Amino acid sequence: MKKKAVLFLAILLTLAACVTDQPATITGVPPSRSVARSAASYNSAAAEDESLPVPISVLHYAENAIRGIFEPEEGIYLGAWLMPDYPKRDFNGRAGQEQAVFVHEIDLCEDIPATWLLQCIATRAAPFFVVNPPLDTEAPIGDMLMVLAQRLGAFNLPMFIAFYPPGHGLMPAEYSVIFRYARAVFLRYAPQAAFVWIAPNVMSTIRNPFFPGSDAVDWVAVALLAERDDNGKVIDVFETFAPFYHTFEAHHPIMILPLGVSHFSHQAHSYHILCAAAEIDRVYQALQGFPRVGLAVYGDAFGFVRSVRDDFAISVEPALMLAYSKAIANRYFIPALQTEASTGRWVRSPYMGYSWKGDVFVDVQTFEELSLPLPQGAAVEINGRSFANVKNIGNISYCPLRNIVLIGGM
């Protein structure tokens, strides 16, 4: 690094100074999620396994929990990452729902894409900028940051800034200093910008050396890409997402950036349109069991996470756009940003529940964790763990549409 850059980093340092899901094993083999299945076969497979306990998410309401900036009271903002010249109104029309957020990727030294930003304003969507390091490494970073923050702040709009996504090439200490300085600059000149840290991968924790500190981060983002393995089967992204979620749930709202389901394998040169459509529906259904996921940005065209094996775009396939439209067609998915701050939110228990033969069961450990009395009646053992039947408990409800149990918050 040049002497000037080293000196600038020293200045920045001075300024910057100022759980895992463990559901009980289900006896038997759950329906396969192989992408070789058609959408119809997904339904028939589920019907064949009605005798097996079905895992469900368990949520409890925390009255005094503070929500992050722009974090929704309940639900998930819709978002899309499109090619810059893709008309946003056209995408909204095909999706049957307005998107709360559109994403654009820029380098720090670039001018603001005025036309793109005006399209966001016209569609009432919040702009989301993924800001990469500048191409000109000799230019003063501080000056470029100040110019960008001042120009974006002049629009006086709620927005998101994901600063220096993975692939920046910096060492952890250097990255942390620059991220924290950028956050301070935006607080000064663009206070309506929520700052986003993008985790390097779904295995990241809050102890990751690149995590710049909770005081500099508003939202945490991670990519969830349902790719295909060598056998052409879709990879279940939630097997690794659940531990990631519980790592950050208590600290920050979480966004999926980007979300993608593969419909074409470049390796096998094979299309899986119907199965991708079914998986899109399943993914958006499953996200509703993670209450602190506040934004899901579908990656129709995205940059910082690239795949040479799979194609995730939905705008090129009418069947996939239809699947997306159906998957988001309920009130849980939100078409506009909520800007009013308030308290109280749903929290996901690390212990899964089950629905089984018309009854609903919650792990007794959940009641101990919440210091709640156990429901009357004998505990039921499911695959080695103790569960209480909560079907007729007044302050506990089961939502079959979202496949969740809600404790409190009535």
- The strand ranges marked E within 244-389 are 254-261, 264-265, 270-271, 293-299, 310-311, 333-334, 343-348, 353-356, 359-363, 380-382, 385-389
Q: How far apart are CA 284 and CA 374, in angstroms?
A: 32
Residue 70: helix, strand or coil by DSSP? Answer: coil
Q: 308, 89 in Cβ contact below 8 A?
A: no
Q: How far apart are CA 191 and CA 194, in angstroms?
A: 8
Q: What's the CATH class of domain 7-16+69-342?
A: alpha beta
Contacts of 298 (CB under 8 A, 6+ apart): 79, 80, 81, 258, 259, 260, 314, 324
89: nearest Cα among 118, 112, 113: 118
358: nearest Cα among 55, 60, 51, 49: 51
Q: Which amino acid is at 34?
A: S
Tell me the pTM.
Answer: 0.86
pLDDT given at position 22:
40
* Residue linked to tokens 């690149």: 210
pLDDT given at position 49:
53
Q: How far apart are CA 155 and CA 97, in angstroms?
A: 25
Spell out the domain ranges in the chain: 7-16+69-342, 39-61+346-407
**Cis peptide, bond prior to residue 258, ω within 30 of zero:** yes
Per-residue pLDDT of the chain (410 residues; tens, 9 = 90+): 444 444 444 444 444 444 334 433 333 333 333 323 333 333 334 434 567 889 999 999 998 888 999 999 999 999 999 999 999 999 999 999 999 999 999 999 899 999 999 999 999 999 999 999 998 777 789 999 999 999 999 999 999 999 999 999 999 999 999 999 999 999 999 999 999 999 999 999 999 999 999 999 999 999 999 988 877 788 889 999 999 999 999 999 999 999 999 998 777 678 889 999 999 999 999 999 999 999 999 999 877 665 557 889 999 999 999 999 999 999 999 999 999 878 889 999 999 999 988 899 999 999 999 999 988 887 888 888 999 999 878 889 999 989 999 998 75
Run of H or E including 269: none
Contacts of 395 (CB under 8 A, 6+ apart): 407, 408, 410
19: nearest Cα among 239, 349, 294, 254: 349
Q: How far apart are CA 159 and CA 68, in angstroms?
A: 14
The CA-atom distances, in angstroms, between 216 and each of 67, 68, 206 are 15, 12, 13
